[in-house]
Structure 1
């Protein structure tokens, strides 16, 4: 029985780490914490069956932390994302400008002139005094953050179209933008 519990714990911990490390949104991260909870309970069981009190205490605390992660990502964060989405949808039906959640600027696909995917927005820089969006930082290529390149897309050449971040640039125009270093972005 202790072997079964330890294998369940091992598998759950590895799968949960993949879910949470991938940073694919609140729902996926929340599911990762549910799986982490299953893993910490299985580790606790392994500790109980093999008389390892340190393993039991560690995973009793980990279970509480994992349950907090479930609340944080499937409760609070999911509701915030739902609120932002509903506000954007409601604004489309209301007079005036449409709204777009600023939080979406840290993980939206940037599409080019012909609708092709150019990269993923990782951040946006705003003016402190006027609050205007100045530029986007867009990642392109790589796998899991390794080997990606970053480019600055001035907001004058970008915008939100049908709920997505878009630019007038095509693939060649986007690739001609200078590369940014991960830790050194322009101040103006």
Structure 2
């Protein structure tokens, strides 16, 4: 029984770490915390069956922290994302400018002129006076954050349409934009 519990704990911990480290949104992260909870309960059980009080106490606390993670990502964060989405939808039917959640600028694909994916937006820079959006930082290529190229896309060349971040640039025009260093972005 203790071997079964330890293998369940091992598998759950590895799978949960993959889910949460991938940063694919609140729902995936929340599912990762559910799997982490299964793992911490299995580690707790392993500790009980093998007489390891440190493992028992560590995973009693980890279970509580993992349950907080489930609440945080599947409860609170999911509700915030739902509220932002509903506000964006409602603004489309209301007079004035359409709205979009600023958080979408840190996890959207940038679509080019022909609808092709040019990269993934990782952040945006806004003016402190008036909040005007100045530029996006877009990651291109790489695998799991290794080997990415970063480029600045001035906001007047981009926009949000139909829930997606789009630009009128072609892939060739995007590739000609100067590269940014991860730790050195323009201040103007």
Q: TM-score surpassing 0.5?
A: yes
In structure 2, the partner of 1:118 is 118
Matched, 1:152 2:155: no
Name the Cα RMSD after superposition.
Answer: 0.5
In structure 2, the partner of 1:16 is 16
- 1:95 shift after superposition: 1.7
* C-alpha distance after superposition, 1:23-63 (max 9, x if no partner): 00000000000000000000000000000000000000000
| Residues in 1 aligned to 2:23 and 2:96: alpha-carbon distance in whole angstroms | 34
* C-alpha distance after superposition, 1:104-134 (max 9, x if no partner): 0000100011111100000000000121000
Q: How does 1:1-80 map onto structure 2 within 5 Å?
A: 1-80=1-80
* C-alpha distance after superposition, 1:46-102 (max 9, x if no partner): 000000000000000000000000000000000000000000111111121111000
Unpaired segments ≥5 residues, structure 1: none
Structure 1 runs (4+) deviating above 3 angstroms are none
How many residue pairs match? The answer is 188
Unpaired segments ≥5 residues, structure 2: none
Corresponding residue SS for 1:48: helix
In structure 1, the partner of 2:128 is 128
In structure 1, the partner of 2:181 is 181
| Residues in 1 aligned to 2:62 and 2:113: alpha-carbon distance in whole angstroms | 48
In structure 2, the partner of 1:85 is 85
| Residues in 1 aligned to 2:23 and 2:131: alpha-carbon distance in whole angstroms | 27
Matched, 1:108 2:135: no
TM-score, structure 2 normalization: 0.99
In structure 2, the partner of 1:166 is 166
| Residues in 2 aligned to 1:46 and 1:163: alpha-carbon distance in whole angstroms | 47
| Residues in 1 aligned to 2:58 and 2:162: alpha-carbon distance in whole angstroms | 48
Corresponding residue SS for 1:159: strand
Corresponding residue SS for 1:120: strand
- 1:168 shift after superposition: 1.1
